[in-house]
Amino acid sequence: MATTKTDPKLALAANGGKKNKVYEGLTREQLIQAYRLMYTSRRIDDREILLKRQQKIFFQMSGAGHEAIGVAAGLALKPGYDWFYPYYRDRALCLALGAKPYEMFLQGVGAADDPSSGGRQMPSHWSYPRLNVVTQSSPTGSQILQAVGCAEAGRYFGRRPGAALPESPLLAQDARNGAPAGGVDYRQFHHVTFQGDEVTYVSLGDGTTSEGEFWEAMNAAALGKLPVIFCVEDNGYAISVPVEVQTAGGSISRLVSGFPNFHFEEVDGTDPGVSYAAFVRAAQYCREGHGPAFVHAHVIRPYSHSLSDDERLYRPDSERERDAARDPVTRTQMFLLREGILDDKGINQLEKEVEAELQTAVDLALEALPAPPESVLKFVYSPDIDPTSSAFDTQPGPPPEPAADGKKPAGKTMADLINSTLRDEMKRDERIVIFGEDVADASREEYLKRKLIKGKGGVFKLTFGLQNEFGADRVFNSPLAEAAIVGRATGMATRGLKPVVEIQFFDYIWPAMMQIRDELSVIRWRSNNGFSCPVVIRVAIGGYLTGGAIYHSQCGESIFTHIPGLRVVFPCNALDAAGLLRTAIRCDDPVLFLEHKRLYREPFGRGAYPGPEYMIPFGKAKIVQPGTDLTVITYGAVVPRALQAAQKLEREQGVKVELIDLRCLNPFDWDTIAASVGKTNRVLVAYEDTLSWGYGAEIAARIADQLFDHLDAPVRRVAAKDCFVPYQPILEDAILPQPNDLFLAMKDLAGY
Ligand SMILES: Cc1ncc(C[n+]2csc(CCOP(=O)(O)OP(=O)(O)O)c2C)c(N)n1
Ligand SMILES: [Mg+2]
For the chain, what is the mean pLDDT?
Answer: 94
Beta strands in 518-581 (DSSP E): 536-541, 567-569
Mutate to test the pocket of ligand 1, among 93, 136, 138, 140 (most ligand atoms within 8 A of CB): 140
The yes-or-no verdict on residue 9 having pLDDT over 90 is: no
DSSP 259-321: -TT-EEEEEETT-HHHHHHHHHHHHHHHHTTS--EEEEEE---TT-SSTT--GGGTS-HHHHH
What spacing in Å lies between the alpha carbon of 504 and ligand 2's midpoint?
35
pLDDT category of residue 724 using cuts at 50, 70 and 90: very high
CA distance 598 to 499: 25
Q: Is 78 exposed, middle or buried (0-12, 13-18, 19+ CB in 10 A)?
A: middle
Q: Is 235 in the pocket of ligand 1 (CB under 6 A)?
A: yes
Which conformational region is residue 438 in: left (phi greater than 0), alpha (psi within -120 to 50 degrees), or beta?
A: left
Give the pLDDT confidence of 371-394 residue by residue, as tens digits. 999 999 999 999 999 999 999 999
CA-closest residue to ligand 1 atom 7: 140
Nearest to 740 by CA among 673, 622, 652: 652
Residue 559's pLDDT is 97
CA-closest residue to ligand 1 atom 21: 205
Give the pLDDT confidence of 649-697 residue by residue, as tens digits. 999 999 999 999 999 999 999 999 999 999 999 999 999 999 999 999 9
Please tell me whether residue 372 adopts helix, strand or coil conformation. Answer: coil
Give the pLDDT confidence of 422-457 residue by residue, as tens digits. 999 999 999 999 999 999 999 999 999 999 999 999
Residue 1's pLDDT is 52
As a whole-number percent, the residues of the chain with pLDDT over 90 amount to 92
Q: Respond yes or no: is residue 552 known to be catalytic.
A: yes
Largest Cα–Cα distance in the chain? 106
Residue 178's pLDDT is 42
Mutate to test the pocket of ligand 1, among 88, 214, 239, 519 (most ligand atoms within 8 A of CB): 239
Residue 4's pLDDT is 40
Please state whether beta strands 536-541 and 567-569 pair in parallel, antiparallel, or not at all (unpaired).
unpaired
Q: Give me the amino acid identity at 29.
A: E
Residue 198's pLDDT is 98
CA distance 421 to 500: 12
CA distance 712 to 681: 5
Residue 398's pLDDT is 86
Are the C-beta atoms of 66 and 89 separated by less than 8 Å? yes
Q: Is 65 exposed, middle or buried (0-12, 13-18, 19+ CB in 10 A)?
A: buried
Q: Is 496 in the pocket of ligand 1 (CB under 6 A)?
A: no
Task: Select which of 190, 263, 305, 552 is catalytic.
Answer: 552
Q: Which residues contact 189 (CB under 8 A, 6 or more apart)?
A: 382, 384, 385, 588
Q: Quick one: how far is CA 293 from the chain centroid?
A: 23
Residue 402's pLDDT is 74
Residue 410's pLDDT is 80
CA distance 29 to 9: 20
The yes-or-no verdict on residue 168 having pLDDT over 70 is: no
Residue 13's pLDDT is 41
Q: Give me the amino acid identity at 641.
A: R
Beta strands in 576-668 (DSSP E): 591-596, 622-625, 630-634, 657-661, 664-666
Q: What are phi and psi of 630, to 5 degrees?
A: -160, 135
What spacing in Å lies between the alpha carbon of 514 and ligand 1's midpoint?
15
Q: Is 424 in the pocket of ligand 1 (CB under 6 A)?
A: no
User: Given the CA of residue 235, which atom of ligand 1 is nearest to it?
Assistant: 20
Q: Is 205 in the pocket of ligand 1 (CB under 6 A)?
A: yes
Quote the DSSP letter at residue 410: P
What spacing in Å lies between the alpha carbon of 234 and ligand 2's midpoint?
5
Give the pLDDT confidence of 501-526 residue by residue, as tens digits. 999 999 999 999 999 999 999 999 99
pTM of the prediction?
0.95
Beta strands in 597-715 (DSSP E): 622-625, 630-634, 657-661, 664-666, 683-690
H-helix or E-strand spanning residue 475: strand 475-477
Q: Which residues contact 485 (CB under 8 A, 6 or more apart)?
A: 435, 436, 437, 478, 501, 502, 503, 512
Q: What are phi and psi of 367, to 5 degrees?
A: -90, -10
- Angstrom CA distances, 551 to 94, 234, 545, 730, stand at 45, 39, 12, 17
Q: Is 140 in the pocket of ligand 1 (CB under 6 A)?
A: yes
Q: Is 142 in the pocket of ligand 1 (CB under 6 A)?
A: no
User: Given the CA of residue 514, which atom of ligand 1 is nearest to it?
Assistant: 1
